[in-house]
Each structure stands twice: as C-alpha cells, then as structure tokens.
C-alpha cells in the first residue's frame, strides 16, 4: 500500500510513516521540511494550492493522510489576525487542498482519506479557541465528505495533546502575549503547570496505522483513553461542559 502523508517530517506524521515502513508499506511525505529519515519526499506547503495539485497528480498513492498542522496558544481576544489566518489556512484549507486534488485518484482506486483532527475539534478549551475552531471545521468537512460519496472511505483520528513540540510552542506563544494581556494571570498559571500532559507520537501513530490499514475503516479513532472522556464531555449540555472544563483547567 502507498500512503501519502502531509506533515510527515516530524510528530505523528513521521511516526506513522516509519510504522508503515516497518510493516512493508510505502510512505510518501509532503512537507515544508525535509525528513531526517529515508522516505519518498515532496517538498511544499499545504497552503500552496498549485503545488498541492502538482504533487497530488504526480504521486501514486492509495491513501491520503492529512496530518500537517499549525497552532498557537492564546485567548480568542489576544490572537493576532495573521496568526488566526495561518491556523485556518494550514489546518483547514491545507486539508481541503489535498482532498480536492486527490479525490479523482483515490476514487479510481477505491482509496481512503484519513484526517488527523483532535479532541479539540469536539470540546472547545480555553485559550485554544482558534485551534479548536479549525479542528471542528475538519471534523465537519470529513463527515460531509463521507456522506457525499461511497467510493472513498473517510476516517478521522482524534488524538489528545501530542508531546512532540506542542508544549514548547504553547509556552512561546503565551510568553509573547503575557505582558499586556487581560489574561496574564491565567497564562502564568498555565506556564507554571508546565503545559499539558501529552501522549507520545508513536502511540498516536498506532491508531493512524489502524485507520489506514483496517479492512473497513471506522469513522473515528481516539487516542488515548482521556480523549474518549473529552468526547463524552462534548455530548453533555453546555452548562455541564463549562463546569467540567473549569474544574479541569484549575
């Protein structure tokens, strides 16, 4: 099986590619950064529609794994316009670009699309608002795509926080907003807590591997158990969600 992975130079994408290689599948990476391991590689930015079209038409693959992503932590009020646009351009339009240009090939092969979202796409968390919004959009897009046609399977993988670089980038963002923000005290508390507990990329990659290789893909795969708890929280009334999240964030 040939699998094209966006954002496969690090994190979940890298771990997934290496897992596929270990199991005698072929991984193809599309990323801005060159991978530090041996793999077929196309360089590019998922926001560059022309480059995405070129690669989608040139590369030969059976499964698309949309994994490229960008985020920055900060309140809805503090988030700069340029940063919010980059989050949505990468996390939403980048996925759409590859979906749009890959569908003709995947339809011919009765292939599969695996979109990496997040539990943040189901439950909105304070100071992750823009990121949560982008992941919620991909959840909805994935469901619509699956219901629009039968030829290409569509699966979603919903990890929790991944350890690879997530907390480091969050710290940098909060330190940038900290001096002048109305939310300075909340930011300081998050920094003192040293970020969020994460799951390692290899564990998440196991779920992505299942989403890619299962004979019949599930609609959703969650990583780890606490992600399932977060999703159950998202099914509760809003007032209950608010109470739970307030307790968790304290």
pLDDT (mean) for 46-63: 98
For 65, list phi and psi in degrees, rounded to 5.
Answer: -115, 110
In a domain, 171, yes or no: no
Which tens digits make up the pLDDT trace of 56-115? 999 999 999 999 999 888 899 999 999 999 999 999 999 999 999 999 999 999 999 999
Contacts of 19 by beta carbon, 8 Å cutoff, 6+ apart: 202, 205, 206, 208, 209
Residues of the chain above pLDDT 90, percent = 63
In a domain, 133, yes or no: yes
Instruction: Exactly one of 71, 95, 131, 187 is catalytic; name it.
Output: 131
User: Where in the sequence is the domain holding 223, given as residue range(s)?
Assistant: 2-163+199-249
In a domain, 144, yes or no: yes
β-strand pairing of 26-31 with 153-159:
unpaired
In a domain, 26, yes or no: yes
How confident is the model at residue 200, as a pLDDT?
80
CATH of the domain at 131: 3.40.50.720
Number of residues assigned to the chain: 250
Instruction: Exactly one of 14, 71, 95, 135 is catalytic; name it.
Output: 135
User: How many domains is the chain built from?
Assistant: 1
Q: What is the mean pLDDT of the chain?
A: 87
Token digits of residue 37: 């391991």
Please tell me which residue, 188 or 58, carries the higher pLDDT value.
58
pLDDT value at 185 more than 70: yes
Contact 48/101 with Cβ under 8 angstroms? no
- Tell me if residue 135 is catalytic: yes
- Residue 17 CA to chain centroid, in angstroms? 15
Contacts of 86 by beta carbon, 8 Å cutoff, 6+ apart: 70
In a domain, 20, yes or no: yes
In a domain, 54, yes or no: yes
Token digits of residue 121: 């796409």
3-state DSSP call for residue 156? strand
pLDDT value at 247 more than 70: no
pLDDT value at 162 more than 60: no
- Tell me if residue 210 is catalytic: no
Which tens digits make up the pLDDT trace of 211-233? 999 999 999 998 765 555 565 66
In a domain, 188, yes or no: no
In a domain, 181, yes or no: no
Kindly report the pTM of this predicted structure: 0.88
């Amino acid at each position: 099986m040939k699998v094209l992975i966006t954002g496969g130079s690090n994190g979940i994408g890298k771990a997934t590619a290496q897992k596929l290689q270990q199991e005698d599948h072929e991984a193809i990476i599309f990323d801005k950064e060159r991978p530090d391991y041996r793999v077929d590689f196309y360089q590019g930015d998922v926001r560059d529609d022309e480059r995405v079209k070129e690669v989608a038409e040139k590369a030969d693959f059976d499964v698309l794994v949309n994994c490229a992503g960008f985020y920055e932590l900060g309140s809805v009020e503090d988030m700069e316009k340029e940063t919010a646009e980059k989050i949505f351009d990468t996390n939403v339009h980048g996925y759409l670009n590859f979906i749009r240009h890959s569908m003709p090939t995947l339809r011919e092969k009765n292939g599969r699309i695996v979109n990496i979202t997040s539990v943040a796409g189901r439950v909105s968390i304070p100071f992750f608002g823009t990121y949560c919004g982008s992941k919620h959009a991909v959840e909805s897009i994935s469901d619509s795509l699956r219901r629009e046609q039968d030829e290409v399977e569509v699966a979603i993988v919903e990890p929790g926080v991944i350890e690879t670089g997530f907390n480091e980038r969050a710290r940098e963002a909060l330190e940038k907003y900290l001096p002048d923000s109305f939310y300075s005290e909340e930011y300081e508390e998050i920094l003192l807590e040293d970020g969020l507990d994460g799951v390692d990329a290899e564990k998440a990659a196991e779920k992505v591997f299942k989403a890619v290789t299962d004979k019949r893909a599930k609609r959703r795969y969650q990583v780890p158990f606490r992600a399932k708890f977060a999703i159950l929280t998202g099914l509760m009334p809003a007032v209950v969600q608010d109470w739970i999240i307030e307790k968790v964030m304290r």
